A and B are shown apart, each in its own frame.
Chain A
Amino acid sequence: MKTVTAAQEFEKIHTGQSLPSLTKHVTVEQIRQYAEASGDRNPIHLDETFARSAGLPGVIAHGMLTMAFANQMVTDWLGDRSLLKRLQGRFAGMVLPEDDVTCSGTVVSKHPQTRHVVINLVVVNQRGEKVLNKGVAEAEFPPQRSETHAA
């Protein structure tokens, strides 16, 4: 049976709260699949010989694959992909096949007037080295339904 997750409630979020982390094991097959799905077939992601000739240790994952993991961590927590309004990050290190990357995030501010929250993000590899830093996500929640009180 399919389970559809419930959306996060704005009222229950608090500053300082950690999001559930997300770990992904990256493979050559996944990098190939991402190249096909995104259209980005740059040989540094696909061709070992080319990647080495470009001065890399071998094929590397697309930075945007790492950002897609960070995106997923946030939207898994939100329970609604359409709430994510902003996402940014700096690709601080290379991700290679067989790396395990872990995304984590913390709510750094909550704005009741505009019903949005700001989340700081970081992605590290299995050695604890940052592969994405200066990560920021912003989610905006729809206006609260007006309370129905008996007159």
Chain B
Amino acid sequence: MKRTVKDPSRIKGWSVDADPKNDPTYPMKRRKDGEHAGYSWERPLQQPITVEILHSNERPDVAAVFGTSTPPSGLSGILRRIAFRYSESSYGHWLPLMLADRLSVVEGVLGDLEHGHFPNVFAERGWKAEWRHNRTSLVRRILVSAVLASATVAYLSSRRAD
């Protein structure tokens, strides 16, 4: 991409109304010289890339440091790789990521079982705290769920019998 105007100061009236005090970003942002120079800073050393790191296509490369938690894997990993073909401005980026997140929950349960761990969903959801501090509501929710589940089973059984 070529800049069509190389020297804006040659445009008649350029900067005549500029007012440095009209800066609603201050003090959140303290303007510095070089503001418009792009990737002009002395970059920190690059962290060695030892795991798969997906990076936004809105930047030219991987940031100097990054987290190495849970690299993409499995079917959810495939979806995440697809998502990163699209920009942060696109639903094509975010929706596959949300889908991958849901898929990775299933992968997580399968992984637990593979390692001989049966996830205690009730404990993970903090039901002990609910029992201690919100017992009536918890019991009500369990009863409502039980009634709905029983009604569904009964309905499906009766249809099968027909």
A binds B: no
Which positions in A face B, CB cutoff 8 Å?
none
